[in-house]
Structure formats: structure tokens, C-alpha cells
């Protein structure tokens, strides 16, 4: 028997403990991360039990009578146990769709977690979306470096790194986000894209307080002047670049090339993957070619992330899948 419970605060400890032993979750699914922006989203996350045992979580929010794998997160979907088998995943997913349908959610939207974040093979959702005739309404390209392989860095990026060395640039890891946010990140995003960082300064400081070892800030200085920086989200196997910023002299100084050359070849060389994130714009329909060129210059290559739109009434298509 599969039963589904809506998340309440009394489930917090159980929820977080499950994240630690799942095969396809990161600290972004911990409640202290999800709840930092609770005022922006109407949370409707679920805990899924089978014979009274917790077997899956679904981080989610409600919007316009549809259910979304949480829109405040970079990725999502069904979070499942390490030893889950396909038949069990099928049972869980079918039950989730049926539950959503009975509770008047017409559609379920899921942005899958990229495969590099999984601790074991976890491609069940892709197959079951095919069975339910789901629509892939968006697909992003993510630039990833496989760090345990020999990395070929382009001449352009090496030359930029050498300019950084020649200019005596210095990289400093700091717990203080204020200087980077106010002097580099916010002005750059406002000028180039007319947007603000997804996280306010207060929010990133709160998240750092809750997840100290997972959120790291690296700044680049010319003498005592901040010229560039990056905010890193660090998970078990993956280093994810959350924010990048520099002043207008980045090409002259080689500041970003200097920073990422060192992070890739030294600071994080023992990790499996270095995730530069997406270069997509316009809901995945366009690619920023200059940004992609820069990332690929460090040896990054592309994987894809699917965004699924599923009609909840199609749970019936999963009823007789196994023969």
C-alpha cells in the first residue's frame, strides 16, 4: 500500500534524514534550504510511504492549480531511496499522479535533476514520462567538466590565466558575501540583464549559516581591490557555479580565467564533476554562444536537463505496464 502525506513542519527531521540516504538528492532539498524563500511559494511537498516506510519525497509548490517540482530549486523530481527498483519507482510515480489527479491538480511539472548529481543510476522518470506521453516543454544544456579525466584547456583560457599571474592577482576564500554582492554581482546583473541575483544578500548569508560547507565564496583581488568572484554550491560529487561576476577589466586582467583555472585544476580537482550551469536563454530556445565558448574553453561539454509537463489523468497509462 502506498500512502502520501503533505509535508508539515513536524516531518522536518524525517525529511532531512531521508535526503541524506537518497540516490538523487542534494542539500538543496533540505528543508532549511527550501524554506528560506517560503514566502514566495505555496509549498505543497509530499512524503510517500509504502507499507508505512518512507520511500520517496516530492519537493513541490502549487501554482494556478498545477503542481511543480519546486520552482525555487534548480532541479527536482521524485527523491527516492538508494536501493529503489524500477517496479517500486513505477508504483510510487503512478500513486503520485493519481493522488494529484484526485486532488484537482491537472498537470504536474517536473524539472529533472541532472544525472551528474545522482549517486546511482536514476533515469526512471525519463522512461515513465514516455509511457505517459508527457511533453518536454523545455530542455536546457548544462556545461560540465569531468574532473577525473585529462582536461584540455584552450589557449585562450590559458592565456587569460597567465595574464592573471602576470598581474599578481590573488584568490581569497571568504565567508563574507557582502563585498562581492554589492560591488560586483548586483551591478553586473543589473547592467547586463536588468535582473537581480536569485538570492538576496540576506538570503545567501542565511543559507551559508545553515549549510556552511556547501556554500563557498571565492574572490579575486588586484592588490586590495575586488575584481571578480564566484559563489559555489558544493555537493557530494559536483561543484556547481551558482554565480560569476567581474568588473569591466576582466579581459585585461584575466581575472575570471585565473580564478577558474585554479578552481578546476587545484581547489576542486578531487571532485567528479564541475558544473558551470546553463548557457540557455528564452526558456531553453536560445544559447548564449559567447558564454558557452568560454565554458567549453575550460574543457566543459554538454549534458541536457529535461523539463516535463505531465497530465495527472494519465496515471492510468501506468496501470498495466508490467506484463
Give backbone dihedrals phi and psi of 272, rounded to 5 degrees, phi first.
-80, -45
Domain ranges of the chain: 2-140+305-318, 149-271
* Four-point Cα dihedral 201, 241, 76, 291, nearest 10: 110
pLDDT band, very low/low/confident/very high, at 193 (cuts 50, 70, 90) = confident
241 has which bridge partners? Answer: 232
Conformational region of residue 254, where left means phi above 0, alpha means psi within -120 to 50, and beta covers everything else: left
Q: For the chain, report the end-to-end CA distance as a whole number of angstroms.
A: 20
Local structure of residue 272 (DSSP, 8 states): S
Asked whether the predicted pLDDT for residue 272 surpasses 90, the reply is yes
pLDDT tens string 226-242: 999 999 999 999 999 99
User: What CATH architecture applies to the domain 2-140+305-318?
Assistant: 3-Layer(aba) Sandwich (3.40)
- Interval 45-69 mean pLDDT: 96
- Interval 260-276 mean pLDDT: 97
Q: Which three cell numbers stand for residue 254?
A: 584575466
Q: Does domain 149-271 have CATH number 3.40.630.30?
A: yes
pLDDT at res. 312: 98
Asked whether the predicted pLDDT for residue 192 surpasses 90, the reply is no
Confirm whether 2-140+305-318 and 149-271 share one CATH topology.
Answer: yes
Q: Which three cell numbers stand for residue 80?
A: 527516492
Residues in CB range of 272: below 8 A, 6 or more apart: 116, 146, 147, 148, 237, 238
Rounded to two decimals, the pTM is 0.95
DSSP calls for 68-136: EE-TTSSSBS-EEBTT--HHHHHHHHHHHHHHHHHTT--EEEEEBPPGGG-SS---HHHHHHHHTT-EE
Amino acid at each position: 500500500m502506498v500512502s502520501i502525506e503533505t509535508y508539515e513542519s513536524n516531518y522536518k527531521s524525517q525529511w532531512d534524514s531521508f535526503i541524506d540516504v537518497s540516490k538523487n538528492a542534494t542539500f538543496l532539498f533540505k528543508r532549511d534550504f527550501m524554506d528560506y524563500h517560503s514566502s514566495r511559494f505555496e509549498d505543497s511537498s509530499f512524503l510517500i510511504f509504502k507499507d508505512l516506510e518512507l520511500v520517496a519525497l516530492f519537493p513541490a509548490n502549487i501554482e494556478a492549480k498545477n503542481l511543480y517540482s519546486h520552482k525555487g530549486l534548480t532541479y527536482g523530481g521524485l527523491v527516492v531511496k538508494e536501493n529503489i527498483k524500477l517496479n517500486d519507482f513505477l508504483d510510487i510515480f503512478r500513486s503520485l499522479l493519481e493522488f494529484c489527479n484526485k486532488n484537482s491538480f491537472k498537470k504536474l511539472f517536473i524539472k529533472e535533476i541532472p544525472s551528474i548529481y545522482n549517486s546511482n543510476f536514476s533515469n526512471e522518470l525519463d522512461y515513465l514520462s514516455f509511457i505517459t506521453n508527457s511533453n518536454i516543454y523545455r530542455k536546457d544544456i548544462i556545461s560540465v567538466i569531468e574532473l577525473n579525466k585529462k582536461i584540455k584547456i584552450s589557449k585562450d583560457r590559458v592565456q587569460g590565466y597567465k595574464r592573471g599571474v602576470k598581474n599578481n592577482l590573488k584568490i581569497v576564500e571568504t565567508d563574507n558575501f557582502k563585498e562581492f554582492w554589492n560591488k560586483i554581482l548586483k551591478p553586473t546583473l543589473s547592467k547586463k540583464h536588468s535582473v537581480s541575483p536569485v538570492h538576496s544578500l540576506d538570503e545567501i548569508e542565511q543559507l551559508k549559516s545553515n549549510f556552511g560547507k556547501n556554500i563557498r565564496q571565492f574572490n579575486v583581488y588586484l592588490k586590495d581591490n575586488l575584481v571578480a568572484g564566484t559563489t559555489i554550491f558544493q555537493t557530494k560529487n559536483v561543484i556547481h557555479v551558482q554565480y560569476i561576476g567581474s568588473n569591466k577589466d576582466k579581459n585585461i586582467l584575466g581575472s575570471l580565467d585565473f580564478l577558474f583555472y585554479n578552481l578546476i585544476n587545484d581547489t576542486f580537482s578531487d571532485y567528479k564533476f564541475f558544473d558551470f550551469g546553463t548557457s540557455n536563454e528564452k526558456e531553453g530556445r536560445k544559447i548564449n554562444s559567447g558564454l558557452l565558448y568560454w565554458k567549453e574553453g575550460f574543457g566543459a561539454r554538454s549534458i541536457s536537463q529535461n523539463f516535463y509537463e505531465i497530465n495527472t489523468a494519465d496515471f492510468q497509462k501506468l496501470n498495466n505496464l508490467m506484463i
